[in-house]
Amino acid sequence: MRLSEPGVLSRAARALMTTEREGVADFDENRLAAIVDLYVRTGIQVHSPGYMGRQFSGTVPLAGVIDFVSSVVNQPSTYYEAGQLPAMAERIMADELNRFIGWDPGGFAMVTTSGGSLANLTALLAARNRAHPGIWARGEPGGRGRPAIAVGADVHYSVTRAAGVLGIGETQIVRLPVDAQGRIAVRLVPELLAAAERRGLQVFCLVASAGTTALGAFDPIDELAAITARRGIWLHVDGAHGASLLVSDALRHKLRGIDRADSLTWDAHKMLFVPAPCTLLFYRDARDAPGAFRRSTASYVSDEEPDAHCEFDSGDRNLECTKRPMIMPLWTLWAMYGRVLFAEKIEHLCRMTQDAHAILIDEPDFEALHRPEANILCFRYRPAGVAEERLHRLQLRIRKEVRLAGRFFISKVDVQGAAALRVVLMNHQIGPGHFRDLLAEIRGTGDRLLRDGGLD
């Protein structure tokens, strides 16, 4: 039986628990070793070159050392009096990274949040509160139309979901079509926004992606900013995956125009290789940051007589009250190694993905679905003679079989309505040979499924 089967794993885990019921069990180092062993052996193996599946990665190991310290000193980072170095490290990293965004160093703000989904929600909330303050106060928008947001068709699900959470309503989402590369088709946007307005919607926020989850596509921020500025619409950029390209001189151009955005979500736990979560939410105008939560805290955490320390408190700017000092691994790595560590790894990963694409297009039984812009590549296994209607199911089953075989871990995604295979290259130790081996495994798996009737 496989350890990855829930029933087997459950029994293995329960067998490791003390049966002492009356007192406190003695420390048992064998028990601890067995727990750690079970942890390391199960789940995804992010440090393996066969892992090409998702946007989290093997971390720089030193990050784990700092997380150990964080867990023992246990200084939440929401209030300066509790977590002083984390508060300072947030300020320093905000300054360091804003050099690549390009906002006024004295005028912007950054808060850390527990993941990109929460950052996107927080930015939308700040935008909503600016445009429709009546929703916070009375649950009524007021204003000149029904509150609405516009998003790229490939935007992350956390953004469309936020419309449901925040009381905007999913039907008030204006979806902007994307081109073949997965980027918002900018030329259609002005007319779509005008049409939405005619339908009685007041689009207060446009969300662009840098890059998208499916294809790693970068929406044209510069051109979108020109449109949103003209119409007084908040431009939020979900750069959870791709904002890290800003630290590379060679790749920064992918986010051209980011200095004109109003807010930016940036997951350091994706392309800056620190443990999850470590999300940074940037606002161009620092005054927008407390707008998300309308400064609504309480006497047990806020000071009636603010001093120089309060400036570093973030409780009125993030949803969390007690918040992990998630910045510490990132700042420590940045302090120890400098920017170039990150830039070189990101550039290498993006280059490898181009190489993988080149390998792929030389294989006649594979179909590349786009030219990769970052380190995400989507494709299909499409041998000659397979009926179109079976291709969707074929990809799904290949993905699953490959995962269960255990040598490789890849993901899948719907591209233009049909399933595709997806690799995300996060490990610099992956070489062309590993990718060729993956294609061979996919081919072998696919052919077996087709031959043995495994699709039915």
Q: Which of residues 46-105 bind its own copies (CB under 8 A)?
A: 46, 54-59, 61-76, 80-89, 91-92
- What is the rounded CA–CA span in Å between residue 347 and residue 352? 9
Contact between 170 and its own copies (CB under 8 A)?
yes
- Identify the bridge partners of residue 377 per DSSP, sorted by sequence position: 423
Contact between 416 and its own copies (CB under 8 A)?
no
260 vs 445, beta carbon nearer its own copies: 445
- Identify the CA nearest to 379 among candidates 371, 124, 217: 371
133 preceded by a cis bond (ω within 30 of 0): no
- What is the rounded CA–CA span in Å between residue 240 and residue 282? 11
Stretch 343-382: interaction string toward its own copies, x if CB under 8 A: -x--------------------------------------
Stretch that binds its own copies, among 97-105, 181-189, 362-370, 410-418 (CB under 8 A): 410-418
Contact between 117 and its own copies (CB under 8 A)?
yes
- What is the rounded CA–CA span in Å between residue 355 and residue 22? 61
**CB of 236: closest distance to its own copies in angstroms?**
16
Contact between 268 and its own copies (CB under 8 A)?
no
Q: Which of 97, 108, 109, 158 binds its own copies (CB under 8 A)?
A: 158
Q: Which of 186, 226, 227, 276 binds its own copies (CB under 8 A)?
A: 276
112 vs 228, beta carbon nearer its own copies: 112
Residue 186 C-beta-side C-alpha neighbours within 13 Å: 13
- Identify the CA nearest to 209 among candidates 244, 229, 173, 237: 237
40 vs 361, beta carbon nearer its own copies: 40
6-35 binders of its own copies (CB under 8 A): 6, 9-10, 13-14, 16-18, 20-25, 27-28, 31-32, 35
Q: Which of 130, 231, 294, 348 binds its own copies (CB under 8 A)?
A: 294
Size of the site for its own copies (CB under 8 A): 142
133-152 binders of its own copies (CB under 8 A): 135-141, 146-147
Q: Which of 179, 252, 259, 312 binds its own copies (CB under 8 A)?
A: 312
192-251 binders of its own copies (CB under 8 A): 213-214
The SS3 assignment for 236 reads strand
- Identify the CA nearest to 148 among candidates 217, 138, 135: 135
Q: Which of 97, 111, 118, 421 binds its own copies (CB under 8 A)?
A: 118
198 vs 299, beta carbon nearer its own copies: 299
**CB of 212: closest distance to its own copies in angstroms?**
10
- What is the rounded CA–CA span in Å between residue 335 and residue 89? 10
Q: Which of 369, 422, 439, 445 binds its own copies (CB under 8 A)?
A: 422
- Identify the CA nearest to 359 among candidates 419, 443, 295: 443
**CB of 259: closest distance to its own copies in angstroms?**
22
393 vs 436, beta carbon nearer its own copies: 393
Contact between 304 and its own copies (CB under 8 A)?
yes
Contact between 394 and its own copies (CB under 8 A)?
no
Stretch that binds its own copies, among 101-109, 248-256, 257-265, 328-336 (CB under 8 A): 328-336
Question: Terminal CA-to-CA distance of the chain, rounded, Å?
Answer: 25
Stretch that binds its own copies, among 217-225, 292-300, 351-359, 444-452 (CB under 8 A): 292-300
- What is the rounded CA–CA span in Å between residue 96 and residue 412? 35
- Identify the CA nearest to 127 among candidates 65, 198, 52, 206: 206
105 vs 337, beta carbon nearer its own copies: 337
Q: Which of 336, 358, 361, 405 binds its own copies (CB under 8 A)?
A: 336
- What is the rounded CA–CA span in Å between residue 261 and residue 256? 10
Apex 78 CA angle, 158 and 303, nearest 5 = 130
For residue 418, the surrounding DSSP H or E stretch is: strand 418-424
What is the CA 295 to chain-centroid distance, rounded? 27
- What is the rounded CA–CA span in Å between residue 295 and residue 35? 43
378 vs 442, beta carbon nearer its own copies: 378
- Identify the CA nearest to 168 among candidates 145, 146, 138, 183: 146
Largest CA distance in the chain: 75
